[in-house]
Amino acid sequence: MSDTPLLSLVIAVYNGEKFLSAFFESIKNQHLNSVELIVVDDGSTDRSAEIIGRYASEFARFRVVTQENQGVSVARNSGLALANGEYLAFPDIDDVIYPGMYNRLLEIATQNRLDVATCNGTYIYDDGRPAKKIFPSDRLASTGVIDGPTWLQMALDSRKFLHVTWLNIYRHDFIKRQGFTFEPGLRHQDIPWTTEVLLTAERVQYIDEALYDYLIHSASVSHTPGTDDTRMRSARHYMKILELLNAINERYPEQVKRVPACHWQIAKEGLGILHSINNIENPDKKREITRELFERGIWEMIWRNARGFKQRWRLGRRYFRLKKIYKAS
């Protein structure tokens, strides 16, 4: 057995006892010849550690890291620092990975010397709605080998792109050379990660093959009505995301010239912030987050990056209402 595995799976776990057995079985069913599992138990308080221990002997390379709960980004960074594989993947434990997924991605990655290999997946709803592809085939078709900026522009232009790590594998040397890590403490950290990875990747390929089921639970936090406090937290997370995206755009000006949708996506995510603010019912909390929007320079950033009449119209019609709230604070 070679000292260097072909693939490292970096697996963040927090209270995953409901999913871990099925997840590890799905990895066994991949029938990978050269894989390393790095399981980061991020302070679980349920039976996760027991289940992880039960599977440790079923894989040739299986490493467990136990740490205090610090969130998925820190867990991934802990695993990333220990990874030895030629390629990296960051699967979520509560989804379904088809048996051939990683072998298929490794096939195109090794044949074509890819920095990033990516596939399609399927949205699976637990409330009876029919399943559907994550990336509709009429919006995003399979590609040959292209550079990352080209793929990012195509993907964002589709208006159906999902910034996720779990549909991809990454060449480890590329990630290491760029020094990429995940932003600690940030929800939806995949947005800045994916953007920067693709802006700098030289060889990328997408295959329109649905090899992953993304399970959408109707009772999950992200799909149930929020409170004022959750809306404020969401707004602040996305303000941080916008600051990160803006910094990325400034770091790679030549690439961004080729990907004008990098500006569009800042305004698009910014409109989500405005929607959260609009739904806050408590006047004091609404004033507080609106003041932050203007004083952190987030509004100016959103407006500066808006592209096209539709985005500017949607922003403009909200401006005077927000400014009135801000002046009253």
| Paired residues of 170 in beta bridges | 88, 116
User: What percent of the chain stands above pLDDT 70?
Assistant: 97
DSSP string, 84-148: --SEEE---TTSEE-TTHHHHHHHHHHHHT-SEEEEEEEEEETTSPPPEESS-TTT-----SB-H
pTM reported for the whole predicted model:
0.93
Question: Does one domain contain both 87 and 42?
Answer: yes
Q: What is the pLDDT of residues 169-200, one digit of tens each?
A: 999 999 999 999 999 999 899 999 999 999 99
CATH number at residue 208: 3.90.550.10
Question: Does one domain contain both 185 and 130?
Answer: yes
Domain endpoint, select from 186, 216, 246: 216
Domain endpoint, select from 216, 237, 265: 216
The number of beta carbons lying within 10 Å of the beta carbon of residue 20 is 25
Please give the average per-residue pLDDT across 115-121, as a whole number: 98
What pLDDT is recorded for position 223?
Answer: 47
End-to-end CA distance of the chain: 65
- Using an 8 Å Cβ cutoff, are 197 and 251 in contact? no
Please count the structural domains in the chain: 2
Mean pLDDT, the chain, integer = 94
Residue 84 above 70 pLDDT?
yes
Residue 82 above 80 pLDDT?
yes
What pLDDT is recorded for position 128?
Answer: 86
Q: What is the pLDDT of residues 238-255, one digit of tens each?
A: 999 999 999 999 999 999
User: In this structure, is residue 2 part of a structural domain?
Assistant: no
Name the residue type at position 21.
Answer: S
Question: Does one domain contain both 189 and 247?
Answer: no
CA atoms within 13 Å, Cβ hemisphere of 128 = 0
Domain that holds residue 267: 225-327
- Using an 8 Å Cβ cutoff, are 59 and 37 in contact? yes
User: In this structure, is residue 180 part of a structural domain?
Assistant: yes
User: In this structure, is residue 1 part of a structural domain?
Assistant: no
Domain endpoint, select from 163, 190, 216: 216
User: In this structure, is residue 29 part of a structural domain?
Assistant: yes
Residue 146 above 60 pLDDT?
yes
List of residues 6+ apart from 75 with CB closer than 8 A: 12, 13, 14, 40, 42, 67
Please give the average per-residue pLDDT across 263-272, as a whole number: 96
Question: Does one domain contain both 167 and 234?
Answer: no
Residue 1 above 60 pLDDT?
no
The separation between CA 29 and the C-alpha centre of its own chain, rounded to angstroms, equals: 25
Please give the average per-residue pLDDT across 320-327, as a whole number: 92
Looking at residue 216, the DSSP 8-state letter turns out to be: E
